[in-house]
Chain A
Amino acid sequence: MSKERDEEIKEIEKQIIIERLRQAPANMKISFGMSDGKFLDRDELIHQVVEDTIIGQKIVKVQMAYLKALKNNLVVEG
């Protein structure tokens, strides 16, 4: 796959995840190791993705893995 195509897919994934994050309540809170022990709210999560920070990339990676798992029926009732 060409580099341009990779970039295009990366950008599409970012936009999908930003839209998903916008559906979340503003006061949701998530902490990652790289967030220095601080909890990030919805707008901070979106900011990280928009700015393509390491945390933003992590958010996209995890969210995409989750969407793929849902598509492949890997998230099942325990």
Chain B
Amino acid sequence: MPRVLFSRPMHDVTLGYLHYYSKELVKLSKDLNHSTVNKEYTEANRKVIEKVISKFKPDLIMLNGHGSPEVVCGHNNEIIVSSRDNPKLLKDAITYSFSCSSALVLGEKAVENGAICFIGYEFDFALGKDPDSESTPSKDKIAKLFMEPSNLLFKNILEGCPIKYAVEKAKEMMNKNVWYLNTTNAFPEAIHYAPYLYGNYLGLVAKGNDNASVK
């Protein structure tokens, strides 16, 4: 039975969107009978996540949070994994870092230190928001176009698809959504969001063994 760990901070509006969208991934993981640990809100901190990883030894990790080329953060932007301090934390696991640009340095370092695969972004992940949604993720038709490819990526991994396939499918959806934003007349501002989603498309990468899957 695969072991899956989620780290889901929610201390600002952007992370609120990531938290909302990843809720269905936690549910899917449980529905698939994967052994699932969900650390959210204040529990998405370094001490807790390090402890869970050392005892639970997850095969698959999803880290939501702010990031930089060298780090991924948790609650209140506390650094959870850093290329300098603890890249070994992700050893023997597949990690999806849903954060900005952490694939650039941390991704490389994690793989050098035994991670099976590190999926993440080489640029800042951009998120568009519908100004009429009142920051309610469920009502936000723009954010949906940015968030759904990420969810598709992780759903496919949870269901046992090879990472390469999951990344490919996520990129296909991003490309489709960019095309939609570029051509739709449904809302006039759509076209102005397209470049940022295209940036996410360009930035999504998998470092390490992308033929790996969760069994």
Contacts and interface: CB of A to CB of B under 8 A. Distances in A.
A66 B199 contact: yes
A75 interface: yes
A49 B198 CA distance: 19
B176 A62 contact: no
Contact of A37 (B66, B124, B131): B66
A1 interface: no
B192 A24 contact: yes
Contacts, number: 102
Interface of A: 21, 23-25, 27-39, 41, 55, 58, 61-63, 65-67, 69-70, 75-78
A58 B131 CA distance: 22
Nearest to B129: A29
Contact of B198 (A21, A24, A65, A77): A65
A69 B196 contact: no
B13 interface: yes
Interface in B171-193: 172-173, 175-179, 182-183, 188-189, 192-193
Contacts of A69: 198
Contacts of B195: 62-63, 65-67
